[in-house]
Structure 1
């Protein structure tokens, strides 16, 4: 590719990368980790250093974000734009790396007049543009370029430090400026993420390969001085570590204890490959053809690239191997693999070196990979199923309800930063549990919170880790009335009414429901209060059930509020006990107390309404249980003022 064609190709790729990274940048809410970044960057520099000393990430990104917010503001767009710009620079770096892989060192070395930026490797072959195009549309690179976290910066530093290393190794007389730049980039990587030592280890193997086979790394043979250059690299790495010494004790304290459950190598390879190619915004099993095409491109790049592929292969495989060896195989750690993505894309770009007419094969594979990437990006931009948890929307809904005596519980507490980014005043926020969940500590806290409020909004996130016994959910289901429940991303958003004790004795019933497997379920008594309410209030129903035999299937309870024409104007469906007492766990003759809340719509007109109750198969809502002459039981009427 000539210079005249190379420049427009590079400009097009960078414009595309910029568009994709800034497109709908502010559309989604901050999720909890982004909220942590946003709130931490509000602090002074000493406070940031103090905070990150106990955080799971080192401080450099937060320090940069602290300065960036002064320039770009504290909106989602402003704070995320730091990652977006880092993402665009990463695409440029992939093109530079792809140029080296495609064309060798070029006519001039790093220590010669003109420097590496004037060497011919950038324009020797169009594979550099292909690598850049794949980087521009890479789902994982775009995703993390739209997140207020350090991962886009991590990918940039991994690629940039590798490029500087190759320039330094390829120079006939390696200049000290490149050596200093390399040391600073390594130190910056160490201060950005605790996984960066894996990048340094991979680059050390590249330096050792240069000592053994310099032509495999820089495209030209070197007769003398190789051992001295390798020793110098060790000195540069040591200098970077010396700059990191103030943080080294914190690194040692932080690196242990986060490995995931044991995973077979084949499973890790398959899952990580899918993530690297398509990201996390495609459903399992979707776009398998894109995976096959990516595998074909990688294989073809290795074959066609020959020894030119060795550097990218090492820089991609070694961090992956280290992830597996240290047990960082859970999908939550896959974002560490952003340090691998630039080199994987360079390998794919090498496939375009296939000679005519065989280059029709990589052309077809490229189209398939690009189609898979665009499919994933379409999900990222427009499919709510793949959206981040909408803390902005949840905070707005709570504010719009404007309940005069509401409280908010966050389970787990590390949602606090993201939620309070949007919820700055109004209802008090209670992060629970504080430390290890202990019923003797948590339940009195819940009782005190419940006594102070008439309504609770509860955000459950990662409860299986922070409250594995379900202490908070079980207490609330037994002492409050669950009025609504929905998933907002990976957050379970629940509204509870706190109604105190009923003002009257329960109403005897004795109504029986014919179970679908021959059992009989009896409603012994019920209590519904308040009898008069306002639109937007929660009405509670306390039910007392039993079954003559343990049901073999789960049933759900429905509460319907009907207007004078028989139309349903409010509805609540749920398993008994808020899901904690499914009917499949009832013992024969056991009495089961069951609380349900019905949230009245805020625009419900005043008038008299009828409340009906029934049961249905949890797996098939059309199969209702018969009772009396129908499939529902009238509990009474209530008035909306």
Structure 2
């Protein structure tokens, strides 16, 4: 075997192993911590739709803004895998991994048009690696949504279209039609990809050799047009059926073209679509490299077009020193046309669909215009990777085409190769900057799991579940797949409406589980629904979960007697004797990652025993220190009892691994379970660290004090913002999360709000970043608000009213008087003049 052939085989093996390594890395990045993220609204909707029969999925998606193919595929997937979020997301992970493999193949094929096989393979590997580490591509490969499937289908459609253009077989045409049609049935915004493919084909057809017979050119036109008509025919029935579902979407908000392009470029390079200006120091140099790479491709094409009878020297094998073989002028033109065709295709897919996404997102009436969301751009990321990698490889290959002595050619080859390596490393580093904070941010939040587990533990066949209100209903529906009723979030609840809604449910069931969400106060601030149930219930059981609550209202005496009985099986993962007798037989927890101020919902199961008390808490695995000591009172019982224990993660607890513990009957510490804590604390501010323009001494309940405020301006105009900063302090023992309300109250009645309220902002302190459970003793919390004043607010004096309240019950924290007794439920802070 010749040395050249051995080198070629060795290089091929190395490239294969390199691609295997890229795929393994891509698989790891797409499955790592895939289950460590709460199911969000759209994911919940996906699972809810996939639970229907295939025919009902068609009905549901016919009235939605997304077509049915992904949901049909998810229906089949979950039939095999079940409803666990991590497993359902694996479908997208596998589709995303296939997209990486196809990006390599497509990038390599495109680059072979004007580069040597070795450089073309390197271009494919770099394209695959860029997509592998793209945070944006990874994120949407870890979602129960259709975007990974749409991305794969876009690559397949482009792959097949190129094969058709190169005179491919019928199976290539069939693949093109199938991939494009499937893409349209997956995502309506797949249509711009289809349009971009046709733009590139039209350029190819017009630029083809004009000396060919007119009849041959017409046959090509009709063949291609026939494929497009077949796609239209396959998709048209669905488009007509579902037109009413998506054409009525008209909720877009304006976005400036420069802002759109800024977000688009940052998404492609860094993979983060928010606060994009912070990455300018990376994205601007990256833009220069990208334009340089595209320029190199254009230069290659122009240089090749000027050579009448030979291909670019880069087409020669790097393993030989011989000049490239002579090629006919017609073959030369064909290669150049193929190069320009692929370049046109990639640029069309990157630019044309993005412009259409922008145009579609502009607010108009009676047209499909969803609000702009960066996730619509994810299907274009592989083509950015291919174009960039191809251009960088073209820069690197220039040394192989330098004319001169062997030494001069080798010198330039080394220089251009190092340049390509440096540019590739920089673009990969830019992508890794975006990827680095991605996985630490994937934390499984216990929003509904603990709450739903309590329903599952105590619910009986005659019970009903009511979601109050249903703003986040897909998330709840994912965790609670059984039947439930929802109070519409758009309702303004009155006593009559509460009775009309609840009466039929109450009369048909033995009990009602009321799931109170943070949105319930918006439509029912007077709490008419829970009041209606409490007035008629024979027993009430309440459970608290962060900013939500679960309440059982029993209708009959028989159901009330079983309110605390556990009809379901319990985990048998402990065997610990407890004070007062009885045995701790099991525990469960829905989440395992927490940060400072979070509440751990722990469920303990005890078998028998008299009334007694024990202690649970956290043990730091690194230092064996004990944290969050929480007493547990056990009632006397003959059977099995389930006790919910809420453990507050102290702000002082350091980051690291922890175990739970319980004291047994002998007082010994028995560790169990595992969890991690991430200490998340702001700088500790004291009164000496801040300048407060208006000191105040106002004492609220729960040990919370307002020590002052700053007002940005005392005079404002309608439609402007009132800038307000509140300064809070506490004794450090606030064990519950409270929201702050800020109101602008005028002397003129506001018909829109139904009261004298002309501006309002409610949130947890410091824009939801400093819950009251994270406050440390003596710390000053700077809490900023921008209160919007209604545009039609009349001139006059407006009072700024503030206070705190429990987001679940709506109950306000009392403002204490000098004697420590409740004096009011709000504080009039100051006034502003409206001109």
TM bucket (normalised to shorter chain) is: 0.5 to 0.7
**419, 424, 435: which is aligned to 1:366?**
424
**261, 279, 287: which is aligned to 1:269?**
261
The aligned counterpart of 1:140 is 136
The aligned counterpart of 1:27 is 36
Indicate if the aligned counterparts of 2:123 and 2:389 stay in contact, CA closer than 8 A.
Answer: yes
Indicate if the aligned counterparts of 1:31 and 1:388 stay in contact, CA closer than 8 A.
Answer: no
Find out whether 1:184 has 2:178 as its counterpart: yes
What is the CA distance between 1:441 and its match in structure 2? 9.6
* Partner Cα separation in structure 2 for residue 552 and residue 477 of structure 1: 39
The aligned counterpart of 1:42 is 51
Indicate if the aligned counterparts of 1:206 and 1:314 stay in contact, CA closer than 8 A.
Answer: yes
The aligned counterpart of 2:93 is 84
Alignment root-mean-square deviation, CA: 4.7
* Partner Cα separation in structure 1 for residue 380 and residue 211 of structure 2: 28
Larger proportion of strand: 2
What is the CA distance between 1:230 and its match in structure 2? 3.1
Alignment partner of 1:68: what SS? helix
Find out whether 1:348 has 2:388 as its counterpart: yes
**414, 420, 432: which is aligned to 2:487?**
432
TM score, norm. by length of structure 2: 0.53
**205, 224, 227: which is aligned to 1:236?**
227
* Partner Cα separation in structure 1 for residue 464 and residue 275 of structure 2: 37
Cα distance change, pair 422–552 in 1 and its aligned pair in 2 (3 A) = same
Find out whether 1:309 has 2:334 as its counterpart: no
Q: Which structure 2 residues correspond to residues 21-170 of structure 1 after superposition, within 5 A?
A: 21-104=30-113, 124-170=120-166
Aligned residues: 514
Cα distance change, pair 421–345 in 1 and its aligned pair in 2 (3 A) = same
Find out whether 1:418 has 2:475 as its counterpart: yes
Indicate if the aligned counterparts of 1:411 and 1:432 stay in contact, CA closer than 8 A.
Answer: yes
Cα distance change, pair 310–583 in 1 and its aligned pair in 2 (3 A) = closer
What is the CA distance between 1:236 and its match in structure 2? 0.4
The aligned counterpart of 1:547 is none
Structure 1 or 2, whichever has the larger Rg, is 2
TM score, norm. by length of structure 1: 0.68
Consecutive unaligned residues of structure 2, counting only runs of 5 or more, are: 1-7, 299-339, 363-368, 397-412, 535-541, 554-634, 636-642, 647-693, 705-729, 749-754, 758-779, 785-801, 803-813, 824-835
* Partner Cα separation in structure 2 for residue 439 and residue 396 of structure 1: 25
Consecutive unaligned residues of structure 1, counting only runs of 5 or more, are: 107-119, 216-220, 487-492, 500-533, 539-550, 593-615, 636-641
What is the CA distance between 1:299 and its match in structure 2? 0.9
The aligned counterpart of 1:609 is none
* Partner Cα separation in structure 2 for residue 555 and residue 279 of structure 1: 46
Q: Which structure 2 residues correspond to residues 235-634 of structure 1 after superposition, within 5 A?
A: 235-256=226-247, 257-258=249-250, 260-280=252-272, 284-306=276-298, 307=340, 309-327=343-361, 333-353=373-393, 354-355=395-396, 356=413, 357-383=415-441, 391-393=447-449, 395=451, 409=467, 411-413=469-471, 415-424=472-481, 429-433=484-488, 437=491, 444=498, 448=502, 457-460=515-518, 471-472=522-523, 474-476=525-527, 493-495=547-549, 557-560=700-703, 571-572=735-736, 574=738, 579=741, 582=742, 584-585=744-745, 619=783, 628=818, 633=821
Indicate if the aligned counterparts of 1:29 and 1:389 stay in contact, CA closer than 8 A.
Answer: yes
Alignment partner of 2:516: what SS? strand
* Partner Cα separation in structure 1 for residue 701 and residue 429 of structure 2: 45
Indicate if the aligned counterparts of 1:48 and 1:62 stay in contact, CA closer than 8 A.
Answer: yes
What is the CA distance between 1:19 and its match in structure 2? 1.2
What is the CA distance between 1:574 and its match in structure 2? 4.3
Cα distance change, pair 54–406 in 1 and its aligned pair in 2 (3 A) = closer
Q: Deviations for 1:203-227, whole angstroms, at most 9, x for unmatched residues?
A: 1101101112359xxxxx9956444
Indicate if the aligned counterparts of 1:205 and 1:314 stay in contact, CA closer than 8 A.
Answer: yes
Cα distance change, pair 210–583 in 1 and its aligned pair in 2 (3 A) = closer
Indicate if the aligned counterparts of 1:408 and 1:429 stay in contact, CA closer than 8 A.
Answer: yes
